[in-house]
Chains A and B, each alone.
Chain A
Amino acid sequence: MKDYGKIDRKLMDHICLIARLDLSDAEKDRYAKELSAVLDAFRVIEKVDTNEEPSFHPIPITDRVRDDSVKPTDWNPLGNAKAKENGYFKGPKIM
């Protein structure tokens, strides 16, 4: 388990990139310190011997499917969008 829970600056930059958060150097340093302290405290679970299956839910959940049918809607999907054009959502430039 070595290196787990140690968040250096390089790893912090990578996490921020994946999480799409644009943090200042000072913020990155502060969060890295806090996250390391939290993860260090959480390492106690390593002591637990776990042969059990993981519980993704607290009670057994079975997959439910519904008919993939088109139903009328009485609300405007674009109602909360500020950037829209010709009945479409408008997003930033991808390429």
Chain B
Amino acid sequence: MNQTTVREYIEAVRAGDVNVAEFIAEVMEKSRKIQERYSPFITLSEKPAAKPTKRGMIPGLPISVKDCLCTNGMRTTAGSKILGDYMPPFDATCVKKAKAEGGIIIGKTAMDEFGFGTFTTNCAYGVPKNPHDPERSCGGSSGGAGCITAAADFPHVAIAESTGGSITAPAAFTGTVGLTPTYGRVSRYGLIDYANSLDKIGVISKSVYDSALMLSVMSGHDPLDSTSSDKASEDFTKFEGKDVKGMRLGIPKEYMSEGVDARIRRALMAQADRLAALGAKISEVSLPMTEYALPSYYLIAISEASTNLARYCGLRYGMQGEMAGMDSDRYFSKVRTDGFGDEAKRRILLGTYARMAGFRDAYYLKALRVRTKIINEFKAAFKSLDALIAPSMPVLPPRLSDIKELTPIETYNMDILTIGPNMAGIPTLSVPMGKAEGLPMGMQIIADHFDEGKLIAIGSSLEVIG
């Protein structure tokens, strides 16, 4: 049962060929060993399979959940010390749906504090190590999700989340599949917000089918999230293996610049050749607004983040200190200063500044206008193209020791290829595209809003031909 695919496992559970309780006990034992070796989890489940079922879309399937998503009665920290003992009294909608369809939560995965990072190194609870080379990063901020997906030798799917590339980066660095759906496709209810207008809940998995299946489980309108789309959920697995013949695919030249590792660019062109051999029509396109995506993204993200993080003040939940002898301002400042890590403080300060009277128009509102131009540019491209293909990340997974030497702006620049689509809220699928020096590389497929089906068709066609 260990090397079985998700699809085979679910069939076996439905047929009654698996003792789910025993299998999950085995999975938990393995997860503990993986935890000792690579640290993908912040919290492991204690009693994961209380009531296994044969019904639903994912009966008995082991699911890991990024730690920014609320799980009823299970510690949820968002990777921050300030939420160190937070026990949500409810499940996030995506978690609720996964459980209702038979999924079994095995643990909460490691992440950069509140999602603030590209390498899952801004962590209050341990840094996950890349199973392909433990001295290197898993990518971030959903690094734990990429780590457990790569390390698990059992059927499993990770629920992850992306604000500016937090699914694509770990998928590329760990050689896994990462699906970032259209903004609003999956309810954000129960997500500990980073940036409300950018956050998207998605999947990291071993295969495109697994991601498509999990999107089918999680998507659909939710009255509890006012930004969730009206689109009903559908069976996204039906797009797997759909013919890509005649599809028009563009390679944005700005995503293939000198700043992208030459080995990664070569691998991308080899993937393009494979797609052309399957009958897709490949062309080069230009997205000149790419240059402005990164600064405008960060200005929007930090402005929203600093507002969201204002709620952590040592009252009601999360870190709480001694109040005696302190006035409210001193108390709030003390808890926040003790509870937030370095990058969280940096982003709070930056965001506070960008929203201050006198600067708001120049930074925050200007960035929102640039976003309109970026969205329009993608929309114009999709009038004549079915999808875009590009490298997922500009570099191979870096060494954890090298990451420490990067300045904040050098770190932010690592997001250069993922920011544009995330700003525009359009869906992307990162699929493995071979290795260089034994390290995985990823290709991202980018489509128009709500065109996840095309991503699944294109991504799965590459799996078939290897």
Contact = CB atoms under 8 A, between A and B. Distances in A.
Interface string A39-67: 10111111110111111111101011010
Interface in B170-222: 182-184, 197-198
Contact of B326 (A75, A81, A93): A93
Nearest to A75: B89
Contact of A53 (B306, B330, B333, B372): B372
Interface string B79-122: 00000011101100000000000000000000000000000000
Please indicate which of the listed interface residues B183, B295, B356, B367 has the most CB atoms of chain A within 10 Å of its own CB: B295
Interface in A1-52: 1, 4, 7, 11-12, 15-16, 18-23, 31, 34-35, 37-39, 41-48, 50-52
B332 interface: yes
B320 interface: yes
A20 B372 contact: no
Contact of B226 (A47, A64, A89): A64
B424 interface: yes
B292 A44 contact: yes
B236 interface: no
Given A41-B295, A92-B326, A48 B373 contact: yes
Interface in B289-333: 289, 291-292, 295-296, 298-299, 306, 310, 313, 315-318, 320, 323, 326-333
Nearest to B426: A58
| Prevailing SS type, chain B contact patch | helix
A62 B314 CA distance: 34
A31 B298 CA distance: 16
B339 to A, nearest CB: 10
Interface range for B:
35 or more
A4 B362 contact: yes
B247 interface: no
B226 A94 contact: no
A16 to B, nearest CB: 7
Interface range for A:
35 or more
Contact of B449 (A21, A59, A82, A91): A59
Interface in B427-456: 449
Given A21-B349, A37-B407, A54-B372, A93 B366 contact: no
A76 interface: yes
Contacts of A86: none
B27 interface: no
A61 B371 CA distance: 15
A45 B87 contact: no
Contacts of A81: 315-317, 320
A80 interface: yes
B283 interface: no
B350 interface: yes
A85 B366 CA distance: 46
A42 B299 CA distance: 8
Contact of B371 (A7, A19, A55, A90): A55
B34 interface: no
B409 A89 contact: no
A79 interface: yes
A70 interface: no
Given A20-B336, A38-B409, A57 B323 contact: no
A39 B227 CA distance: 30
A15 to B, nearest CB: 5
A81 B208 CA distance: 42
B323 A37 contact: no
B425 interface: yes
B345 A44 contact: no
A44 B294 CA distance: 10
Contact of B373 (A34, A52, A59): A52
Contacts of A63: 226
Interface string B338-351: 00100001101110
A24 B420 CA distance: 36
A79 B87 contact: yes
Interface string B374-388: 011000000000000
A55 to B, nearest CB: 4
Interface of A: 1, 4, 7, 11-12, 15-16, 18-23, 31, 34-35, 37-39, 41-48, 50-59, 61, 63-64, 66, 75-77, 79-83, 89-94
7 contacts: A4-B362, A21-B336, A22-B337, A34-B408, A58-B198, A75-B89, A93-B327
What 6 pairs between A and B have smallest CB-CB spacing?
Answer: A58-B425, A54-B368, A80-B317, A75-B89, A50-B369, A42-B295
